[in-house]
Amino acid sequence: MVYYNKGSHTVHKIEYHVVWVTKYRYEILNKNMKLRLIELIKQGCEVKNIKILKGHVGSDHIHLLISCPPNIAVSEIVKYLKGRSSKFMQEEFVELKTKYWGRHLWSTGYFCSTVGVVTEEMIKEYIENQEKEDTNDIFTIE
C-alpha cells in the first residue's frame, strides 16, 4: 500500500537517498561523534519537516533515506544538514579542528537519487491514456 503525504494544497510522496562523505574521506568519526551526528541530523530534519525513513552513519560517510515536502529542494536539505552538523561537530569535538583546520568537515559534493513506487513507464502510460488518440507526439491536447 502506498501512503501519500498531504499538505494544504498538495498530495505528495517525495523520497531521496542522500549520501555525503567527510572531507578527504578521512575515517575520523568515532562512536561519540556518530551518536551526536544522529542527534543533529534528526533535529535538523524535524525543523524542516523532513522525515528520516532510514539512516546510517559510517566512519567517513552518511546515508539517509528521507521523505520531504515538495517546497524544499534536495540541494537545500543537504546544504542545511551538512552546514549545521559541521558547525556543531567542530565546536563540540576539538579533534576535528586539528584535522580540518579550514572549518570544513564534509566534502563539497553529495550523492542523491530519487526513490519511488511509480516507474517511468507507468507515468508514460498514464499520460498516453489521458486521450485515446493514437499519436507519437510528446504532448496531447484534450
User: Domain-by-domain residue ranges, the chain?
Assistant: 8-116
Which CATH number fits the domain 8-116, given the four candidates 1.20.1250.20, 3.30.70.1290, 3.10.310.30, 3.40.50.10800? 3.30.70.1290
What's the order of all strands across the beta sheet hosting 15-21? 51-57, 61-67, 15-21, 111-115
For 69-115, what is each residue's pLDDT tens digit?
A: 999 999 999 999 999 999 999 999 988 888 887 778 999 999 999 98
Q: What are the residue numbers of the active site?
A: 126
CA separation for the pair 71, 51 (Å, rounded):
14
pTM: 0.83
CA separation for the pair 131, 142 (Å, rounded):
7
Residue 22: its pLDDT value, please? 96
Percent of the chain with pLDDT over 90: 66
For 15-73, what is each residue's pLDDT tens digit?
A: 999 999 999 999 999 999 999 999 999 999 999 999 999 999 999 999 999 999 999 99
Residue 134: its pLDDT value, please? 54
SS3 content of the chain, % helix, strand, coil (to 5): 40, 25, 40
Helices (H), the chain: 31-47, 74-92, 94-99, 120-128
